[in-house]
Amino acid sequence: MEKDTIADLIDQKYNALIEWIENHPDELWTQGPEGKWTTGQHVLHLLQSITPLNNALSLPKFFVRYKFGKANRPVRDYDAIIKRYKERLAESQGKTFKGSQNMKVPNLTDKHYLINRIQTESKKLQYKTKKISNENLDTLVLPHPLMGKMPVREIIMWSAYHVEHHLETLKNNY
C-alpha cells in the first residue's frame, strides 16, 4: 500500500471513529457492557496506541535502526497484517497489554479533550506517513506488544485497522 493511500486510510478510520463518538450519547461515555471497557476507555486506549507510534516516528531514523534493527522480510500487505493480528488476538485470549491494563475510566469532562488529542495524533500520523521515505517505511522496524517487531509501513497500516477494530466493537456492543 502506498504512503498516500495509507494516510487516506488513517484519515478515513479516525474520522469515522470521531464522528461515531461525537454522536454517541454522553451518558454512555463512562459506561460499557459488564466487564468491558467504556467508550472513553476505548478512546484512551487508541490514544495510548497512536501517541508512541508518532513519538517513535519523530526520532532520528538512525536511532530507530540502532535500537530496533532492520526488517528481515518483505512487507506484508494490509489483509495479511489484519489476518495475523486476528490470529494473535485469538492466541492471546483477549489479554490486555501494559498501558491498557487497569485503565482509568475517563470522565465525561475529558471527552472533548480526548477527541481533540486523538484527532491531532491522527493528523500527525498522516503527515509523518507521507513524509517518511519508502525505504525507511520498509526497512525500519518498531516493536508491537502483540505482533512483535514490524516494518514501519506495516505498523502504520495496522494502526488504521486498529481504529476500525475498536469502532466495530463499539458499534456492536454499545
What is the domain range of residue 96? 3-23+36-173
Write down the pLDDT at residue 98: 65
**Residue 51: inside a domain:** yes
**Residue 89: inside a domain:** yes
**Residue 131: inside a domain:** yes
- Picking from 54, 87, 89, 109, the residue whose alpha carbon sits closest to that of residue 166 is 89
pLDDT in tens, the chain (174 residues): 999 999 999 999 999 999 999 999 998 899 888 888 999 999 999 999 999 999 999 999 999 999 999 999 999 999 999 999 999 989 987 667 666 677 889 999 999 999 999 999 999 999 999 999 999 999 999 999 999 999 999 999 999 999 999 999 999 988
Number of separate domains in the chain: 1
CB 64 within 8 A of CB 140: yes
Write down the pLDDT at residue 102: 76
**Residue 84: inside a domain:** yes
CB atoms within 10 A of CB 81: 21
**Residue 29: inside a domain:** no
**Residue 161: inside a domain:** yes
Write down the pLDDT at residue 31: 87
pTM (predicted TM-score): 0.93
Rounded Cα distance, 39 and 26, in Å: 10
Return the C-alpha cell found at 10.
488513517
Write down the pLDDT at residue 174: 85
Give me the CATH number covering residue 90. Answer: 1.20.120
Cell 471527552 maps to which residue? Answer: 111
**Residue 28: inside a domain:** no
Rounded Cα distance, 140 and 17, in Å: 29
**Residue 70: inside a domain:** yes
